[in-house]
Copies of this chain bind each other. A is one copy, B any other.
């Protein structure tokens, strides 16, 4: 990514993961394998502030594989690639293998 975006506040820049619709061997995968709406965290903001003005760091970090809500998020384009911005509290969870 030639142009870099540092999100403000508790925003999270996410690249959605499009699940492969067929395997590397060419076998078409059934529909249900694409039902998980997830993405990779590309960049995170410094966090929002509590009532005393202190920064509360966001709950995910660069590289995390995150579960995303079905709706919401702001779609943006950087150097012809599509990304989404989510608020930290809208990230549903972190996926581990």
Contacts and interface: CB of A to CB of B under 8 A. Distances in A.
B97 A35 contact: no
A2 interface: yes
A73 to B, nearest CB: 11
Contact of A80 (B7, B32, B46, B74): B32
Interface of A: 2-9, 11, 13, 32, 35-36, 43, 45-46, 49-54, 56, 59-60, 67, 69-70, 74, 76-78, 80, 85, 88-89, 91-97
B4 A36 contact: no
A22 to B, nearest CB: 18
Given A53-B50, A56-B49, A85 B93 contact: yes
